[in-house]
Each structure stands twice: as C-alpha cells, then as structure tokens.
Structure 1
Amino acid sequence: MHDEPITDLAHLGHVEMLTPKIEESLRFFVEVMGMTESGRQGDSVYLRGWDDYERYSLQLTASHTSGMGHAAFRTRSPQALERRVAALRADGHEVWAHEGELGHGTGYRFRDPDGHVFELYYDTEWYQAPEALRPALKNQAQRFPARGVNARRLDHFNCLAVDVRACREFFERNLGLRCTERIELDSGEEAGMWLTATNKSYDFAFTKEAHGIPGRFHHVTFALDSREAILQAADVFLENGVHIETGPHKHAVQQTFFLYVYEPGGNRVEVANAGARLILAPDWKTITWTETERKKGQAWGLKTIESFHTHGSPPLPEPEAAGGATAGVNTVAGQDDLSGDGIAS
C-alpha cells in the first residue's frame, strides 16, 4: 500500500534575490524584464509579473553581495501550514516565525540541508491593480505591460547544493514535493533533481555545487508566453546591452526552451516558455538521466557552456578562486564540476 501523498503546498510564491547594485538591478527587472513595482519596505523592492495573482513574486533586496535571500511557498490552507511546520520540527529542524513582511501574513522559515532559507506561508494579499494598470479582462491580474520581455509570472528557481540527494530527500519527506526528473552520475552521486508541488513539471531544481560551498544560488526563471517570445527576448536583451550567457535553445531535462542572462547584480536569470510540460499522472515515475546521457549536451546538441557549471551567486570566496581568478569572480579557470559537458540543465 502506498502512503497517501502530501499535497499541502499550493505553489511557489516568491523568491528573494540579493543584489549589490539595487538601482541597476531594479532598472533591469522593470525596464528590460517588464516587471511592475508593487511596493517597497526596508531594503527591499517588490516586483511582479503581469499574470502573478499575488502582490509580488520577486523581492529584490539591497545587499553587500548577490545570491538568494529566501524562496517561499504558499500552502493550501492554514491547516496545511500548521502540518508542514509540525513535520519539519518533528524531523529535528529549526523553524522560526517571520512577521511583518509586505504582502503576506506570518511566514515560517527554515533551512534545507545545504543552508538555503525557505519559507512557508498561507495568508496573502491578492494584487489589486491601480486604475492605470487595470486589464480589459477581469480574469487577468494586471494589464499586459508591453515593455521589455513582458515577464508573465515567476516559474521556478535553481539552487546549487553540495549534497543534492540529501536535499531531495529532505523536501520529499517534510514537504511532500515530488521528484519528476533527476541526474545520477556513474559514481552513484546525485547531480541534479527537479521537484514539483503542482502539475508543473518542476517548481525548483537543485544541481551539484562545483566547489563544495553550501548555500549558493544558480538562477531564477520567469515564464513568457511562447518560444517566439523568448526569441524576441533575445533581441530585447541585445538592444539593452545585457550579456546573454547561453540560448535560446531547448534543455533535454524537462524540455524547457531557455535563454539565460545575468542581471546587473551578478545573478543568473532565465526566461522560459510557460507551461511547456505538465505532470498530470499522480503516480509519475521519476525520470533518471545517466552521466553518459547528459554528456550529450542539450536537446538539440548544444553543448552546455562551462560557466553554467561554475557561475553561481554569491561569488566564490577568494581562497576558493583558484587558477588565477580573484575574489568576486564566479568562474573558476580550468575547473569542471561534473566530469564532462552537459550534465546540468
């Protein structure tokens, strides 16, 4: 007999991104990504995609460095929130209340085995568009911005982890997240895992950290309407002098059509096609990719660019930056973390 699945998480709510260049990063997300500012509090500016129903999906926080401050999931009910907090504590993890955040009620924060901060909450503020941003159709949260790449909604994020398997088991055990795809190296080590709380193919992913440093961030992803919108986004980035790291192209893992850039604060940002794949099977069987399969590169043969394995945020500390790199530089010269090209997605 199978255990009853845990369905207490509703969806990914928001990601807090740290930036040492708050004004430049804000300009990027508003003017180039086409997001809308929906509030300010303390050192943070809160931003939204035009189809996000909550007040915001991105919290941009001024900091001395880059990286992820926290990632937050909304639960399905107040009772679901209580159950997940109790489960985390029963599993021996510290959970602390976070009060006074803009746009939602009490959040409960905790750390995963790699040290990333996560938050669970239920009470939330539904976005009410001001007159100038009201849409023509009442089933849409906000008027289409017609600005930059027109980010529709927050889609997913990716963290780096020293022990990917330990993190996957933590999220499965305590939050009921389902693993739709994973990567296992010839050594038996898990190099990547993709988890979902919904019928999306994934809400977030963890991939292997190259340098043994916990708590680092890989990228955040915003959904656009179509593949064509992503091709147009490449032109928008080009016209705005934004460095395109790799793409447009199609991942093999999860089949996401992708384009990666760096925002001014040093964090990687992806735009991808909304709703590319849905996982409707309640008994979905996890797809496991081998090291040999991943060395083939992306879906159509594009080799994974080396910086995709070595660049993360915050930057590597100076003692770790071997091969002539200096503090604040993310790419380590001559170092490949996963024994060949094309492992990560």
Structure 2
Amino acid sequence: MHKLFMLLILLTTLGMSLAAPPVYTPVTPKALIFPEDFGAHENFRIEWWYVTGWLETPDRQPLGFQVTFFRSATEYDEDNPSRFAPKRLIIGHAALSDPAAGKLLHEEKSAREGFGLAYAKAGNSEVKLDDWYFIREADGRYRTYAEGADFALELSLAPMQPLMLQDLNGFSRKGPRSEQASYYYSEPHLQVSGTVTHENRPIAVKGSAWLDHEWSSEYLDPNAEGWDWTGINLDDGSALMAFQIRGKDGQKVWAYAALRDAAGQMTFFSPDEVSFHPMRTWRSPLTDADYPVAMRIRTGNIEWQLEPMMDDQELDSRLSTGSVYWEGAVTVTRDGQPAGRGYLELTGYDKPLSM
C-alpha cells in the first residue's frame, strides 16, 4: 500500500485543465487473474511494482536495495488525440543502503508515457523509463535495471514461492470505508543475483527480495497522516507483511498483517490485532523529521522487533512524488530470537500527507 498515496499527492498538484474528469474503475472484491494481473491496469488511477531486499557481496558485506516503478493517471482528458498529451506518468525510484557509505544513496526520475521511452504494458510486468526497466520473463523471473549518480543496480529475481495474495484474495482494505482499498499481491523470498556498481566498481551480489504489486483508484481516509509498513523474509521460509495507517489525531486509522508459514499456511490479523510501537527515533539532518527507525510490532500474540541496518535511510523524492520518507533495510527478531530481514517504510513524519 506504501507508494500509492504519495503519488496521489503529486497528481492533485498538476493543475491540468480537464475537458471532463476521467472515471476510474473502483476496487471491489474479486478474484485476481494471472498472468493478466502481472501487467498494468490502465483503468485504475495508480499502480506500482515495488522491490526491496538484502544483498551480500563476495566478502560477505550486506547491502540493502529498493527499486520501484509507478504508473499513474494524470486526470488529463483520455480523449485528447495528441501523442504528446501527458495522460499517464511513469515514475521510478531506486536506492542502495550501504553501511560503508553511512547514508542512503538514491535516485528518482519520471516521464510522461509514450514514444516507447516510458511505458507500463498490460498482460505482464513490463515497465520502462528511459534506460530503467522492470520486466517479468516467460519463466517467471524478473529483471531490473536502475542507475543513479552514485550507483547502479542490475539484478535478476527468481520466485521461490507462490504468490502471496493479501487480505481477501488480493482485495486489500486501507481504511474503514470499503472503497479505501487496493488490489495487492506480494512475492516474498525472491532469489536475487546480479551486479551492483558503486564508486565505479561492479560488484557481484546475491541475496533475497520482496516484491509488491498494487493498484487502486481511491485515496486514504481523509484523517490519515501517514503509514508504517514492513515486508519481511523470515529465515525459516515464512513471510510477514504488516502495516498501519496513522491518523492526524495520533490514533490508528487502519492496520493489517499477514503471516505465511513455510508450508504456505496463511494467518491474517485484523486491525485490532496489529500495533506498531516506536522503540528509538532518528532525526534527519536534512528535514528534521523524527523517524521511529527501531520498531516493535505486535501481530496477535507475536512480538517482532525491527532494527535498521543504519539510521540514515531517508529518501527525498520531492522531485517526483513530492514526498520525503524513510525506507530502509532492517533486521528482525521474533519474540526476542533472530528471525529474518526485510524493509521498513515510514511516511508522514516530515509533514502530514496532504490530499
């Protein structure tokens, strides 16, 4: 659910004159259909493919990475015949967490869809933004490439487990009203191999990753200030996803978690069973935002503790989505015992999200 609403903030600021407001398909409970739902869904307002993971270098040094591609409608008149009409945007984020660098290295870029330079295709995961790409091959493997001023990522990601359909068979609630929802599936425990280029030096890497694919047409609840989200690949082959949406009054607007064990058995947790508790904060020298980078999460009677690979994993995406947020690699314990590694995303701490 993470990236969806940051993009909606951007879309409200575009200020385009409309011949007629476009009508987007609402999100309602239905079965997802594959392979079609691997691809883009242009009748919905916003969509993204989001990959996070942990890598290891040949000398066993850990790295974290994130690659995200967004497809978003701009509310520009779909009937405009011009090939130059900016009806849809393709936006990309990429980041590398390297403890040796001491801070997050990140890059962003965006372009209007068209001319074969930027697109998100229907029918399969295939997104392109200039020389950046995210592609699902016929055998189910993914390939992705993204490059920044300080780093480049060229990775292959192989599924090792079935799809993890979130909430009600992929219909994922995001608030107290039923229309506040998305279609949402994950692919945990992707096996990663490839190359990270850093300081002009290519480094062979391997590791594991988590993929989210999500699409929707609806906003957060008007009372929402931001959200906390985590996706965790557990050492025993299990997978955990949890999030909470925080209200402007400091209360929990909504929450959800799902735990799938190594045998494929799913356990779902209702909003009342999920809670996030900050343990330690880090203040950004760039924005003065205080982020709860160490977090304790309860799902039912299970307690998880998340500790960051490093504190400074703040991502400034004001040039693309208009937001600043913390998104970083974390280690995880379960009931006090080492359990796995994943990613934590924290939004709305720089300033409340404005819809």
Q: TM-score, normalising length from structure 2?
A: 0.30
Q: TM-score, normalising length from structure 1?
A: 0.30
Higher helix proportion (structure 1 or 2): 1
Higher strand proportion (structure 1 or 2): 2
